[in-house]
Structure 1
Amino acid sequence: MTTERDFVADHRDDLLADLDAWLRIPGISAQPDRHDDVRRSAEWFADAARRTGFPTVEVWDDGPWLPAVFAEWRSADDDAPTVLVYGHHDVQPVDPLELWHTDPFDPTIDGDVLRARGASDDKGQLLFHLLGVRAHLAATGRTSPAVHLRYLIEGEEESGSPHFEQLLATHRERLGCDIVVVTDTGMVAADVPSTVTGMRGMVSATINLHGPDLDLHSGVFGGAVPNPATAVAELVAALHDADGRVQVPGFYDDVVELTDVERELFAKVPVDDAQFLQVAQSRALSGEAGFTTLERLGARPTAEVNGLGGGYQGAGTKTIIPSDAFAKVSFRLVADQDPAKIINAVEQFVAAHTPDGIATSVDWEGDGVRACLVPIDTPAYRALTDAISAAFDGAQVLPTREGGSGPEAGLQHAVGAPLVFLGVGLPDDQIHAPNEKVTLSMLFKGAEAAALLWSGLARVSARGLRG
């Protein structure tokens, strides 16, 4: 009987052919004139799932969301746990087009690298799952997976998943599961297998400050009335202390701290600060004192000023006291921080730092998203890391944290099941940027890990997966 690795190796051309066909569809969810292409992308993946053997495949377009794909393949073992695989088939815009070295929708292979928009984020990672299912069946001799498999492939993730919660509510009865496997992340390096153990949440807002009802001559009124531009500068300067800690009262009250074991494992992750600075094109590190770069990036909450403005911005001088000023801010959150509580605390902080004569308002970009956390002492996590380790010839699998934010916590809350992350993207894949690429050998290892994972999860009871 063939092994999972042998099957993947023998069917690499299948994955490459599917990638070439799917990546040619410019399903950019952020651009309305590409929404027909988003539909074509959903239909393409639905057909690929049927070809793989999924007996139930549906394109969900029965709401305000762009088309999503649902696929289900029940195990012949009725008491098998149910696994929901989450990913997305839409892609980012390609602008600026002139910075691409190749056509973003004409996949180009150079050695072990395939370059196209969506190659890593997220089409390549979804296709390794389809190959992984086939490898799982071939290696085990089964005619159905060892777990009840469900796929939910979203079509709006690259636009911020604006209707995802509605989609989840509409189809909640179809999405019940014991564990969610997210396949929209990556690893720290090609030779360092790792898995994400948390994604940060976020709230963001524009803080508006209004002083006089019109711009005033600074010679006539300066020094005698409050200046909103000065006030906004003082406000954002007060966000952090000298050690980089956020000064919003109660900001850290609910933060789940890293355990000693997690910090020991994080310390094994090879992060080169000099290389990090080179990628960031920055000349210095910064952030909360007492934490490493990796810990700051994924395991600690932050406050960032994303934009600042007010008053005259043109050439030369215009000596005024401006009527208005603003700051755009965002707060990345970690596990157990409640976006609603942070919103309330920030509003109190703004009020406390508003001088007399200045009126402030805080306009929030929605209700925010929660962070999610993967405990590393669970049977689900061990099954995942065992599968990844086997695909990487027994190497230790290290935990990392994802600094960005996504809909995963909302999905976890909606289905009431824990998460694990199986992703094989690399830091230099240039997702969201020109010249996005994927390393093909990583996709093949991802397919092998997925094939092994279904057998590993099947050995854990549904109750065991849920903890």
Structure 2
Amino acid sequence: TGFTTTEVWQTPGAPAVFAEWRSDDPEAPTVLVYGHHDVQPAAREDGWDSEPFEPVVREGRLYARGAADDKGQVFFHTLGVRAHLAATGRTAPAVNLKLLIEGEEESGSPHFRALVEEHAERLAADAVIVSDTGMWSADTPTVCTGMRGLAECEIRLYGPDQDIHSGSFGGAVPNPATAAAHLVAALHDEHARVAVPGFYDGIVELTDRERRLFAELPFAEEQWLRTAKSYATHGEAGYTTLERIWARPTAEVNGIGGGYQGPGSKTIIPSTAMVKLSFRLVAGQDPDHIEKAVRAWAAEQVPAGIRHEIVFGAATRPCLTPLDHPALQSVVRGMGRAFEAPVRFTREGGSGPAADLQEVLGAPVLFLGISVPSDGWHAPNEKVELDLLLKGVETSAYLWGDLGEHWHDAP
């Protein structure tokens, strides 16, 4: 593409690619674009209509594994910087442009944070653009402003040293399966709020403006329920469905087990039980604080005579960019010019490595994605709409000039 620096950075797993192209303007801001080059496995026999790793164009769509997630959305930046230079007559971008394309996103980015920490000086930026997200729909261009964090754990409960007879001992010794059920029942109050003391400490509440902007999206709850394969909505009282999945913290039971699981009955008091929990976190929440709060809460719930241990996995911090941030305004203007339509705002209910970039580099994270829900990430016949891919190119081309022009206008 013309980047003056291109390097492969090794990790204990798959390598990452780094590229840099400095502006000829000494006052230019520095922007880092994040994406990933790895994809989910795919084979023709999974239900593909064509070979998944041989791109095919049909009816204005490009079908291939990674077409949307995430090779296509990395690719449009390479075309975008070319268009930016061609349209402006520049020989270097209007910003100091860096790309970091990792190779392990689909396996949880196990080595990504260490990679960012190792190369933090090389990756230093005023803003980060993450192009591994999507839009609301083809005719409703949107910019994501935040992504929830994640903490998850397994609570293991131990009672008798072995399974024992429920007739001989039932009602006289504590049952770990009953303790597991009690833990699950105590996780939420009657308003579906998380009942762990301290869980909501420090969270950034939704503003009236953000709630109004969410409400402007063409959200059809019945259609959403069909996608969710569910028959009713449920969640924290006082919030809409979109607010619950984008901007409110949650606690979910991912698994619960213990005792006899086979056919028929087996009248025992089991010796062990377990509960798997996950917590989606919003801006202002700290995974370390959540871990301490959950440990203290569980210790209060578990009855005497039941030993327990809690194992937490790796956590992901939430990230959120204020609506008035100058870099976000540049993304909105660039997308608005490309799509010739008003740009609305969303958040992501899931989690990803964006928070590591924000935390280690101390830079705001913006999301620029052009994929739509029908693209079928991780599914057979994954595709990208070619007209939207080109809109991504155009947005990228406008973005660098806008950032270069307006970055220093911000108060």
Structure 1 position 456, deviation (Å): 0.5
Matches within 5 A, 1:53-64: 53-61=2-10, 63-64=11-12
Contact map agreement 1:75 1:145 (CA 8 A) in 2: yes
Structure 2 partner of 1:382:
329
Q: Quick check: 1:183–1:421 contact (8 Å CA) kept in 2? A: yes
Which residue of structure 2 lines up, in the alignment, with residue 329 of structure 1? 277
- 2:351 match: 405
Query: How many pairs does the alignment contain?
Result: 411
2:333 aligned partner, one-letter code: D
Unpaired runs of at least 5, structure 1: 1-51
Query: SS at 1:438's partner residue?
Result: strand
Q: Would you say the 8 A contact 2:44–2:50 is kept in 1? A: no
308-317 or 123-132: which moved more?
A: 308-317
Distance apart, 1:375 and its partner CA:
0.5
Residues 58-457 of structure 1 mapped to structure 2, 5 A cutoff: 58-61=7-10, 63-94=11-42, 97-366=45-314, 368-393=315-340, 395-457=341-403
Structure 1 pair 442–318 and aligned structure 2 pair: CA distance change class (3 A): same
Q: Quote the Cα distance in structure 1 between the aligned partners of 2:154 and 2:402.
A: 47
Q: Distance in 1 between matches of 2:356 and 2:47?
A: 35
CA distance in 2 between counterparts of 1:144 and 1:379 reads 22
Q: Deviations over 1:103-127 (max 9, x none)?
A: 3223232212222221111101000
SS at match of 2:198: coil
Paired residue secondary structure (1:453): helix
Q: Given residue 331 of structure 2, which amino acid in structure 1 is its aligned partner?
A: L
Residue 392 of structure 1 deviates from its aligned partner by 0.9
1:202, distance to aligned residue in structure 2 (A): 0.4
Give the whole-Å Cα distance in 1 for the aligned partners of 2:107 and 2:349. Answer: 18
The amino acid across from 1:386 in the alignment is R
Name the aligned partner's letter for residue 57 of structure 1: T
146 and 397 in structure 1: CA distance in 2 versus 1, 3 angstrom threshold: same
Q: Secondary structure at the match of 1:317?
A: coil
DSSP-derived class of the 2:97 partner: strand
Structure with the bigger RCO (C-alpha within 8 Å, sep 6+) is 2
SS of alignment partner, residue 375 of structure 2 = coil
Opposite residue 380 of structure 1, the aligned amino acid is A
Which amino acid in the other structure matches residue 438 of structure 1? Answer: V
CA deviation vs aligned residue, 1:154-188 (integer Å, no higher than 9, x gap): 11111111111211122112111111111111111
Query: What code does the residue aligned with 2:113 have?
Result: E
Cα pair 1:97 1:434 within 8 Å, conserved: no
Q: Offset at 1:95?
A: 7.7
Mapped partners of 1:96, 1:274: distance in 2: 33
Q: Is the 8 A contact 1:369 1:406 kept in 2?
A: yes
Q: Assess, with a 3 A threshold, how the Cα gap between structure 1 residues 431 and 295 changes in structure 2: closer, same or farther.
A: same
Distance 1:95 1:213, change over 3 A: farther
Compared CA separation, residues 428 and 401, structure 1 to 2 (3 A) = same
CA positional deviation for 1:397 = 1.0
Normalising to structure 1: TM-score of the pair? 0.85
* CA shift digits 1:216-260 (9 cap, x unpaired): 111221111111111101101111112211101011111101111
Whether the 8 Å CA contact 2:44–2:52 is kept in 1: the answer is: no
Structure 1 residues 216 and 405 mapped into 2: Cα distance closer, same or farther (>3 Å)? same
Supply the AA of the counterpart residue of 2:198. Answer: G
Q: Where does the alignment leave 5 or more consecutive residues of structure 2 unmatched?
A: none
Question: How far apart are residue 439 of structure 1 and its match?
Answer: 1.7
Contact 2:135–2:370 under 8 Å retained in 1? yes
TM-aligned CA distance change 1:172 to 1:279, over 3 Å: same
2: CA distance, partners of 1:381 / 1:309? 45
2:20 partner SS: strand
Q: Percent identity?
A: 60
**In 2, distance between residues paired with 1:297 and 1:229?**
30
Does the 8 A contact of 2:327 with 2:407 survive in 1?
Answer: no
| Cα shift at 1:463 | 8.6
- Shift in CA distance, 289/132, structure 1 to aligned 2, threshold 3 Å: same
Aligned 8 A contact 2:257 2:273 in 1: yes
TM-score by length of 2: 0.97
Q: What CA distance in whole angstroms lies between the structure 1 residues aligned with 2:136 and 2:108?
A: 24
After superposition, the CA RMSD in angstroms is 1.5
